[in-house]
Amino acid sequence: MARTNILIVPAISLLFLLESCDSSKSATASNVTARTTRVQLPNQNNNVIKTSWPSIGCWFWSAEEFEGEGYKRFLDLYEKYSPFELLTTSLRHPGDLTDPAVHDRIKAASRYARNKGMGLVMDLDIRLARDSFKQKYPNELQQIVLFRELPANEGNTATIAIKAKGYDDHYTYGRKPYEPVATQLLRAYSFKKANGMIAPGSLKDITTMATAVATTDSVHVTVNFGDAGKGWTACVLVAVTLNTPDVFAPHLLSYQRQILQQYADAALAGACKDEWGFPGRFSPQTRDLWFSPFMARWYEQQTGGRDLLKDMLLMIYGEKDAEAERTSAINHYMELYWKRNGEIETDFYHAVKAIFGENAMSGTHPTWFPFPDKREIFKNGLSWWGSKRDLAQTDEATPFSVRTALAKKMWSPLWFNMYYDKDVNVYHKDIWRAALAGGRLNYHPLWPHPINELSASLLKDSLMMAESRVKLLNYISAASPDCPVALVFGHPAVLNWNDSTTFADAGLPIANDLWKEGYFTDIIPSSEIVNGSLIINAKGKIQYGPQQYKTVIFYHPQYDHEAVANFFNKAAAYGKTAIYVVGDWTKNFGGEPYDGITIMGSGIKKADASSIAATVMEELKAKAVLPQTKGEMHSVAGFPASVMPMAGGQLRLIDGTLIVVSGEQYLMGDPINQTFQASGHSVYFDAVGVAAVRLNTKGEVEALAAGGLKSFKTRHFSLELPLRTDLVLYREKGKWKGIVQGFTGPLPEALTNITKNWVRLRWPERYIPN
């Protein structure tokens, strides 16, 4: 039998460790080879065992985890029946994170998890400490302003009663909603209308002529129009204060860090901030706008002294001859959304690193609904790309064109999608779909599902074994998928809710058309040009993270910053990336006349939305750019559909790695028995489910991974096995190292002749309910 060494994965390893934490059990060679590789923990001498990109599952705490040693049941189950190394963990039960009893319970669970070879990435979001934040900073809570209109009656007075409502999301599950704690009349205006807009010169501040009787969740307002008379309209601006921290609260970042610091001794593998932003609204109305005095100060600074409340009235109604001001006001207001939310997410990331160590994980996903439509826009302003992570993370039915783009932004070889459905059979194909676009699942339990069966809901078939097989790819995945096309959407245009031709249209139908034919496309906001993330590299090509693009489509340029036009002018002059523009650019960010198309230069090709996908595909074919796996419209759990890859096909990574996935028929994968082209060389696989290879410039094998491998051949390398074997081979410092999964007994000579350096992994056991 071959000598077994501690597994040390190549440079692609990402460790999620709390380096300052000790462990009561040291890690040894014997326990690594006896079970599935996990994120290993430092022992008392701080010796670290490295591993690959992790398998991740979700754990949601209910009453059970707070009773006795109830948290042990879930950890015992998943230590035995899953390959999970990290658990993104959140409370679905009452309790404030600042409560010492909650801290002690989380700490106990975390230490128990470490003894089981798993790390907790605990949800330490400030929304789980709303009550303590409110108590300490009662004047820094989120407000929403309701704009309610009332016409003058014959007595030149008008009255209105306004009832406030609360909001819900997963952070309010098992606890109070974001309920109103106060209402207040902020202002009242009167004006005449002209074609539905404010008539020029008619706007008057009549706040002193309005009286209000307010309660916690309602307000009754009476307005006296004075001598205005019939034909005038009043609009009252009522602020509803909610029990959740204001996004612009001065103490939000410091309090966020205080919460993290409280858990510095809890042996956590990291911390989560999930679906951050303003409270989510599934039917957002533009007459209900997020506000706070602190947001007003930011707006004033950004606009050179303008009054946010008054500008909100302009945003909603508009005024004749003030269209540029209206456009500018909306653009500045919405830019605050994504900038501030991205700042909060990124500060959380850096705080996690500072408190838990550089190898700690910052999770989970910045996506909420998760689709680039008005629901997400009024949640976070599409701040996804500006929310720092190590691993790109999304959820539910986030379009694949967003997932791959985030992987580039984060320099993340893999993306993880927190995924759920009510039917476990849906997971069976989607695990393979994800793998064909460089992704993995962050396994959310079945939902909706009976609470008492939630913990074991994913363990009742071979899903965890399939995850273990797909995970073989993690050991050699050093790059993200090669996407030759970038679709850059105009961030201001897509957020400008007064322009029905551009609002909430990030170009997804175009990306869908390209993905459907296998031309993978990254969707990126134009703000990534302004902040310097989307660049022109030294070769003159447009580049995002590690990805250099053959083609870029600039979609909806209207209202964008002039720096974007200068960027494309410069890129077009190099001529290394083909650039198309779809849409007009007649106004700049401030709403003033602007000939952006001309300024971008003659090297930019004008196109229309209906034909651009076909045009780009013809161009790529002419350049011999091969498509990847074709896709189809698909969704999960009732979310909007977008094009996702089929469950069988090929994937080419940026570094030339070839990945073959076959999962259309069987959960554990379908047969792969075929010759493929990898970096211009022929390779043959006889395997099951997954097969991957990376070659060097000479066509020599650098890394190999396959499920159920029987045979592999290239010009320089041949391997025949007596039994099908889940296998990984890779070179480290010129020497071969290997991994086998589920193999018992002596290794065959075909493997020991390659190297004596092997690690054995076991399959998760099959769960049998009592």
- CA gap 399, 38 in Å, rounded: 30
Return the SS3 of 456: coil
Is residue 524 within 8 A of residue 403, CB to CB? The reply is no
Buried/exposed code over 259-284 (b: 16+ C-beta within 10 A; e: otherwise): bbebbeebbbbbbbbbbbbbbbbeeb
Over the stretch 90-122, which tens digit does the pLDDT of each residue have? 999 999 999 999 999 999 999 999 999 999 999
Phi, psi of 440 (to 5 degrees): -135, 165
pLDDT at residue 48, rounded to an integer: 30
Is residue 604 within 8 A of residue 572, CB to CB? The reply is yes
Structure-derived torsion over alpha carbons of residues 365, 366, 369, 373, reported in degrees to the nearest 10: -140
- Residue 9 identity (one-letter amino acid): V
pLDDT at residue 323, rounded to an integer: 97
Q: What is the mean pLDDT of residues 6-13?
A: 31
Phi, psi of 447 (to 5 degrees): -155, 135
Over the stretch 351-378, which tens digit does the pLDDT of each residue have? 999 999 999 999 999 999 999 999 999 9
Does pLDDT of 537 surpass 60?
yes
DSSP code at position 462: S
Does pLDDT of 316 surpass 90?
yes
Q: Tell me the pLDDT band of 18, cut-offs 50, 70 and 90.
A: very low
Q: Tell me the pLDDT band of 30, cut-offs 50, 70 and 90.
A: very low
Which residues, in sequence order, are bridge partners of residue 535? 543
- CA gap 390, 361 in Å, rounded: 7
pTM of the model: 0.94
Over the stretch 465-512, which tens digit does the pLDDT of each residue have? 999 999 999 999 999 999 999 999 999 999 999 999 999 999 999 999
| Residues listed for the chain | 770
Q: What is the mean pLDDT of residues 41-58?
A: 56
**Under the phi-then-psi rule, with left for phi > 0, alpha for psi from -120 to 50, and beta for the rest, what region is 438?**
left
Does pLDDT of 648 surpass 80?
yes
Does pLDDT of 4 surpass 90?
no
Q: Tell me the pLDDT band of 52, cut-offs 50, 70 and 90.
A: confident
For the chain, the distance separating the N- and C-terminal CA atoms, rounded to the nearest angstrom, is 37
Does pLDDT of 20 surpass 60?
no
Q: Provide CB contacts within 8 A for 486, sequence distance 6+.
A: 405, 521, 522, 523, 524, 534, 542, 544, 547, 549, 551, 552, 553
Q: Provide CB contacts within 8 A for 254, sequence distance 6+.
A: none
Does pLDDT of 527 surpass 80?
yes
pLDDT at residue 228, rounded to an integer: 67
Q: Tell me the pLDDT band of 770, cut-offs 50, 70 and 90.
A: confident
Kindly state the percentage of the chain with pLDDT values over 70: 93
pLDDT at residue 10, rounded to an integer: 29
- CA gap 372, 474 in Å, rounded: 29
Q: What DSSP element (H or E) covers 245?
A: strand 233-245
- CA gap 594, 490 in Å, rounded: 15
pLDDT at residue 124, rounded to an integer: 98
Is residue 478 within 8 A of residue 413, CB to CB? The reply is yes
Is residue 391 within 8 A of residue 349, CB to CB? The reply is no
- CA gap 469, 80 in Å, rounded: 16
pLDDT at residue 210, rounded to an integer: 96
What average pLDDT is seen over the chain?
Answer: 92
- Residue 21 identity (one-letter amino acid): C
Return the SS3 of 494: helix
Q: Tell me the pLDDT band of 452, cut-offs 50, 70 and 90.
A: confident
Is residue 59 within 8 A of residue 140, CB to CB? The reply is no
Lowest mean pLDDT among 184-193, 361-370, 451-460: 451-460
pLDDT at residue 229, rounded to an integer: 66
DSSP codes joined into one string, 507-570: SHHHHHHHHHTT--EEEEETHHHHTTSEEE-TTS-EEETTEEPSEEEEE--TT--HHHHHHHHH
- CA gap 690, 727 in Å, rounded: 10
- CA gap 649, 661 in Å, rounded: 5
- The number of CA neighbours under 13 Å toward the Cβ of 290 is 30
Residue 608 CB neighbour total at 10 angstroms: 10
Phi, psi of 73 (to 5 degrees): -60, -50
pLDDT at residue 268, rounded to an integer: 98
Is residue 694 within 8 A of residue 725, CB to CB? The reply is no
> Residue ranges of the alpha helices (H) in 304-395?
308-317, 323-356, 374-380
Over the stretch 608-642, which tens digit does the pLDDT of each residue have? 999 999 999 999 999 999 999 999 999 988 999 99
Q: What is the mean pLDDT of residues 723-743?
A: 96
Lowest mean pLDDT among 7-16, 449-458, 480-489, 718-727: 7-16
Q: Tell me the pLDDT band of 44, cut-offs 50, 70 and 90.
A: very low
pLDDT at residue 231, rounded to an integer: 83
| Nearest Cα residue to 616 out of 578, 570, 567, 573 | 578
